[in-house]
Structure 1
Amino acid sequence: MNVAMKLRKKGMIVTEYENKGRDYRKLWFESFFETIDVSNHNRTNFLWEWFHTQNIPFRKGKEANQAFEKVNKQYCFIFFQESNDVLKVEYASEMKAKDLCNEVGEYSDVYIVDKGFNWTYVVPHEKEEYGPYFYRK
């Protein structure tokens, strides 16, 4: 996986897990959109689309990148919309937005969270039109 190799080259410890993506996507939704009654909403195709359907104070574009660069990333998880792979990243303080922007295929919608799911940084596949997004509870 390209992103794991990039992060390892920067000195981060990356542990790869298979078949955990569905669990992390579910936990992400429950953590950041916990107050939503989904029975009244049509499910969106991509998790990041929920940013546009709810009134939450997220940052977008350059502001999102700046917030991500500043947030404590000592220990975090990376997962994807279309893959069940999950990366646990330790000593991630040097992780930058540009490290996550060139993924393709099943790895093109990238979700990053801290271990407590207190903040999230999302790089959608439609980078030119949408995102990236940063949200802290």
Structure 2
Amino acid sequence: MNYSMYRQEINQMIDSLPDEELVKVYWSIEAIRQKYLFTKTMHDKGVVIVTLLDKEHGIMDKWDSVFAKSISDETKREIRYDQYKWHIFSFKKQDCIEKEAARNAFDAVNKNDLFVMYQNIPDIVFEYNNASDIVASDFDYEQDIYLFDRNFTWTYVYTHESICGPYFYKSVQG
């Protein structure tokens, strides 16, 4: 495949745009680049990513029942839990470790096999296998991502807001 042809066409498209449109182009390309770098990092670390489509709702429901079990439905409505599950941590409704301490806790925990879900991708859960080498910084360009072990004993949450999180919570049931 002749990739230089694509590069030339992309450059021609960019050259045809007014300068004020270049910001949009930049952020679109940056998003593609970050996704590529994330995928490459996971691959380089030997992580096997499996997309789970058949049982995702059971996994998502279990996350709710384990990590938000002590939060009443009324409180969930007040903090807009349906918008962002991580509001249980940012609104201080669930005790957790925050910021750098959360990153350190995630880096230290056993995470050979884990689940990953995104707030804004409601019907897909990913299973990461052979993931023991991943660290918090691998997810610094992800948004509203929830990572948790297969036994639901801990969860690590990285939000889209720089002033919120990351959060690490270890379940008492685990």
Cα distance change, pair 41–75 in 1 and its aligned pair in 2 (3 A): closer
Aligned ranges 1:36-115 → 2 under 5 Å = 36-39=71-74, 41-42=76-77, 43-44=80-81, 45-83=83-121, 84-103=123-142, 108-115=143-150
Write the letter of the residue equivalent to 1:122.
V
Query: Could you tell me how far 1:4 is from its partner in structure 2?
Result: 4.4
Structure 1 stretch displaced more, 3-12 or 88-97: 3-12
Q: State the shift of 1:109 in Å.
A: 0.8
The aligned amino acid for 2:167 is: Y
Cα contact 2:68–2:94 (8 A) shared by 1: no
Q: Can you give the 5+ residue segments of structure 2 that lack an aligned partner in the other structure?
A: 1-34
Structure 1 contact 73–92 (Cα < 8 Å) conserved: yes
Q: How many angstroms apart in 1 are the aligned matches of 2:170 and 2:158?
A: 15
Structure with the larger RCO, 1 or 2 (CA within 8 Å, 6+ apart): 1
Q: Secondary structure at the match of 1:93?
A: coil
**Two-structure CA RMSD over aligned residues (Å):** 2.1
**Partner of residue 25, structure 2:** none
- Once the two structures are superposed, residues 6-61 of structure 1 have per-residue CA deviations (whole angstroms, 9 ceiling, x without a partner) of 31221112112247554433221111121232145414320000113454330111
Pair 1:31 & 2:70 matched: no
* Secondary structure of 1:47's aligned partner: coil
Aligned length: 132
Q: Which has the larger displacement, 115-124 or 27-36?
A: 27-36
Q: TM-score, normalised by structure 1?
A: 0.84
Which stretch shifts more, 6-15 or 87-96? Answer: 6-15
Identity %: 29
Gaps of 5+ in 1: none
**Which has more strand, going by share of residues?**
1
